[in-house]
Amino acid sequence: MAMNPLIVDIADMKASDNPEAALITYSLGSCLGVSIYDPEVRVGGLAHFMLPLSSLDSEKARTRPFMYVDIGMVLFLEQMFRMGARKEHCIVKVAGGSQLLDTNDIFRIGQRNHTVLRKILWKNGMLLKGEEVGGALSRTMRLDLIDGRVTIKAHGETREL
């Protein structure tokens, strides 16, 4: 278990090459937690996105780009590549995308977040290696940089993704 937890806030992203670090994000309801890990260079990152499209508020998108999947994910990939990750080695996993408050299936924010993420990955020639999305629960996501292991905690139960 990694000894140095780095908390990834809502609408935030962190990346590291410290094998002692663990990146953790909480409260993944309709939001998406996305982890990227390159086992060859042993760098990893975790992002917490809230909304699918930055066109909803261009000013907020400028000041808080990781709020939005469309621009935040592009910046996340750029950061990982600057740190030496190569897309053909990257292991991408996602959690969240729930429908906690949208019980009538009107806004489908979680589903839309997931769709935008998959589109960006597809355009970059990358696929998801693991996902736990949907449902009506809140999740915590953790990426251990020592080995790239991703765990999800929900309803008091922790499982590997």
Q: What is the pLDDT of residues 81-120, one digit of tens each?
A: 999 999 999 999 999 999 866 555 556 899 999 999 999 9
Task: Give the pLDDT score at 68.
Answer: 97
pLDDT score recorded for residue 56: 83
**C-alpha to C-alpha distance for 38 and 126, rounded to whole angstroms:** 13
What is the CATH number assigned to the segment(s) 4-155? 3.30.1330.200
Q: Give the pLDDT confidence score for residue 2 in this predicted structure.
A: 55
Specify the pLDDT at position 104.
55
In the predicted model, residues of the chain with pLDDT beneath 50 are none
